[in-house]
Amino acid sequence: MLSAGENERLTRVSAGTPMGELMRRYWVPFLMSSDLPEPDGEPVRVTLLGESLLAFRNTDGEVGLIQRNCPHRWADLFFGRNEERGLRCTYHGWMFDIHGNCVDMPTEAEDSSFKDKVKLTSYPVVERGGTLWTHMGPSDVPAELPGFEFFSVPESHQFVSWNRQENNFAQAIEGGIDSAHSNFLHASLDAFRRTDAWRREGERTGNLRDLYHARDRHPKFFAEDTDYGVATGARRDTGEGDYYWRFNLFLLPFYTMPPGLGPQQKFFHAFVPLDDQTTARWSFVWNTDRPITGPERRLWRRGYGIHSELQPGPEHRPVRSMANDYLIDRYDQKHFSFTGIAILADEDYSVQEGMGRIEPRHQEHLGTSDVGIIKTRRRLLREAAALMDGAEPLTAANGRLYYLRSGDALLPHDAEWSTDPRTLELMTATR
């Protein structure tokens, strides 16, 4: 467990805090491109790393991310007019471009240079993979977009979703790298009680998880620091002379990469801190071999698997939430599923949000299955402390470190899990 002071350093992300400054060294996803669908359209309120911001797409289709309040009398620019390549405050007509420059100040004399002295806080924006990314750190410190394989496949092979989670980013990350919970939280009751149901499915599909995941209820966990973050391996005995390994990756500063949805369908999550108590849970899915079908896209948009069903509106709030107990069905829980909650993603929210907005880690009792979580916490705290001492994070400026995959494999008992050639081949993304 962490001390109360360590938990504070881990979870606070506002400007000036060690973790907040670390997060600002990286490019951060903040909206989908479709959240700003048209030039001169409606602005969208954005809270990111504790800052109140506003995103808008100007007349030329370029996206700005600026402070939400007009520097004149602090009116909310959300109500402004998006026109003529800028956003005009409705209070006194001051107008700002996507770079935060004041380009018109009709309340001042025509020959006044006052507008040249007024500037909003603004952040650069890059549009890639159907997603809007920003960098909120110092402009003179090198930073690269993470070079995930997702970005190298055709747009037809990609799918992106995001939604709000009402809890701190760290407990969301820890759920994303926890390989022990899937035997319980995401299991059908039949699969939980018996291994036969898993095995039959695995024999049909050839999926290693279905064949071997439930055979060993007491997996052994191992974790190692890597150049990109932390790799965690969960080892299960197959009873057939080898081990079944599942690899779960944490990539600085807030990404998790579980083994995937199938041999050719991969995904990663980004758990982006909106503020100390709220997280944006991003899901990036890609196929390595084929386009994602229309039926798949419709199903995911309605909430299926790792994607949530969302309420209407720009805030991406899930339909199932703590406020309605995630629409838990106790009959279903009693007879069919381990949780009684219909969607896998919402099962995750029920435990992560159920911990409270910020989990009291000083009250935990961690076990042997938590070695990856312990090492990830320590890595984040160490990176933040190093930055405070003047050492910039290497991963922020090296996008190629993110060009990898996760997965699962059968390895002989004497294999070294993290360096075995079969593991390294499995984690190598293709170009």
Does residue 7 lie in a domain region?
no
Average pLDDT value for residue range 28-33: 98
Q: What is the DSSP string of 113-178?
A: -GGGG-B--EE-EEEETTEEEEE-S-TTS-------GGGGS-GGGEEEEEEEESS-HHHHHHHHT-
- Tell me what pLDDT residue 201 has: 53
How many residues would you count in the chain? 431
- Tell me what pLDDT residue 145 has: 98
Residue 334, domain CATH: 3.90.380.10
Does residue 148 lie in a domain region?
no
Beta strands 229-237 and 242-251: pairing type? Answer: antiparallel
pLDDT at 277 over 60: yes
Does residue 21 lie in a domain region?
no
Pairwise pLDDT comparison (207 vs 113), residue with the higher score = 113
Phi-psi region of 168 (alpha: psi -120 to 50; beta: other; left: phi over 0): beta
Domain limits at 48? 26-135
Which spans in 12-73 are helix H? 18-23
Average pLDDT value for residue range 311-317: 94
Average pLDDT value for residue range 192-196: 52
- Tell me what pLDDT residue 98 has: 98
The mean-pLDDT minimum among 107-111, 156-160, 193-197, 312-316 falls in 193-197
Average pLDDT value for residue range 232-241: 89
Q: What is the side-by-side order of every strand in the sheet holding 86-88?
A: 81-83, 86-88, 95-96, 102-104
- Tell me what pLDDT residue 261 has: 74
- Tell me what pLDDT residue 316 has: 97
Shared domain check, 268 and 232: yes
pLDDT at 294 over 60: yes
Average pLDDT value for residue range 234-238: 89
Confidence band for 240, pLDDT divided at 50, 70 and 90: confident
pLDDT at 333 over 70: yes
Does residue 14 lie in a domain region?
no
- Tell me what pLDDT residue 259 has: 86
Q: In what helix (H) or strand (E) does residue 221 lie, and over which residues does it extend?
A: strand 220-225
pLDDT at 197 over 60: no
Shared domain check, 406 and 290: yes
For the full predicted model, state whether its pTM sits above 0.75.
Answer: yes
Shared domain check, 172 and 98: no
Q: Which two tokens stand for residue 280?
A: 């944006």
- Tell me what pLDDT residue 200 has: 57
Percentage of the chain exceeding pLDDT 90: 75
Does residue 219 lie in a domain region?
yes
Confidence band for 289, pLDDT divided at 50, 70 and 90: very high
What's the pLDDT tens digit per position in 144-181? 999 999 999 999 999 999 999 999 999 999 998 887 67
Q: What is the DSSP string of 260-324?
A: -SBTTEEEEEEEEEEETTEEEEEEEEEESSSPPPHHHHHHHHT--TTS--B-SSTT--BSS-GGG
206: DSSP letter: -
The mean-pLDDT minimum among 50-54, 72-76, 83-87, 172-176 falls in 172-176
Shared domain check, 407 and 331: yes
pLDDT at 41 over 70: yes
- SS3 of residue 54 by DSSP: strand
Average pLDDT value for residue range 198-218: 62
Average pLDDT value for residue range 99-125: 95
Highest mean pLDDT range out of 58-62, 111-115, 194-198, 424-428? 58-62
Shared domain check, 347 and 198: yes
Domain count, the chain: 2
Average pLDDT value for residue range 9-33: 98
Shared domain check, 110 and 254: no
Last residue of a domain, one of 135, 165, 191: 135
pLDDT at 136 over 90: yes
- Tell me what pLDDT residue 421 has: 87
pLDDT at 202 over 70: no
Residue 81, domain CATH: 2.102.10.10
